């Protein structure tokens, strides 16, 4: 936070007043970037229904798995990273769940019939991504996007080879 405050020409105390703890600051940044990327990827993928959702989620998961900064965060500070990224009481997980639920709801309005309620499906998709992408945080960043795509395809009710 010192480096960021210095870069912005602010006192570190100002950042703490605005954002609270380092954990909240990091969570807010990661959540905002994640929401933005999910929406952008969904727009780029286009199409509709479960295959389009799967392609969007797969693109997002692969970006996460390939993001050097996120990988470094998880490897260098695994306890903090897991708390920031996966806590239901935190910032990141609830906002990403809500974003995915919004994407699912949009598809429901277009005729997609998810196998379970969109809120539950969104939560399951996020928790699975956490497990497949960050499961080995204590020993290193795993990032198994390929197997995650297969499981997400099953949850969405689409052939995993559809994308």
The predicted pLDDT at position 136 comes to 62
Q: Could you tell me if 1 and 12 are in contact, meaning their C-beta atoms sit under 8 angstroms apart?
A: yes
- Per the structure block, which two tokens stand in for 158? 């689409």
The predicted pLDDT at position 105 comes to 98
In this prediction, residue 162 has a pLDDT band, given cuts at 50, 70 and 90, of low
Kindly state the average pLDDT of the residues 115-139.
86
Nearest to 64 by CA among 161, 157, 131, 154: 131
CATH number attached to the domain at 22-162? 1.10.357
In this prediction, residue 137 has a pLDDT band, given cuts at 50, 70 and 90, of low
The predicted pLDDT at position 4 comes to 75
Give me the helices (H) in 46-117, please. Answer: 49-66, 68-76, 78-86, 92-109
pTM of the predicted model, to two decimals? 0.86
Distances (CA, A) of 2 to 10, 22, 69, 78, 126: 9, 10, 18, 21, 31
CA angle at 117 for the pair 111 and 118, rounded to the nearest 5° = 70
Question: Can you tell me the distance from the alpha carbon of 48 to that of 130, in angstroms, rounded to the nearest whole number?
Answer: 25
């Amino acid at each position: 936070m010192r480096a960021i405050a210095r870069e912005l020409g602010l006192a570190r105390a100002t950042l703490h007043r605005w954002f609270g703890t380092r954990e909240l600051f990091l969570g807010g940044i990661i959540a905002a970037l994640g929401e933005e990327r999910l929406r952008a990827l969904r727009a780029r993928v286009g199409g509709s229904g479960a295959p389009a959702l799967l392609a969007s989620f797969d693109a997002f998961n692969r970006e996460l798995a390939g993001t050097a900064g996120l990988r470094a965060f998880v490897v260098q500070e695994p306890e903090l990273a897991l708390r920031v990224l996966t806590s239901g009481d935190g910032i990141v997980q609830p906002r990403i769940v809500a974003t995915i639920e919004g994407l699912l709801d949009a598809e429901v309005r277009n005729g997609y019939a998810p196998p379970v309620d969109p809120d539950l499906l969104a939560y399951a998709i996020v928790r699975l991504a956490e497990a497949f992408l960050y499961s080995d945080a204590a020993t290193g960043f795993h990032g198994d996007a390929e197997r995650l795509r297969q499981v997400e395809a099953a949850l969405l009710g689409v052939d995993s080879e559809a994308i």
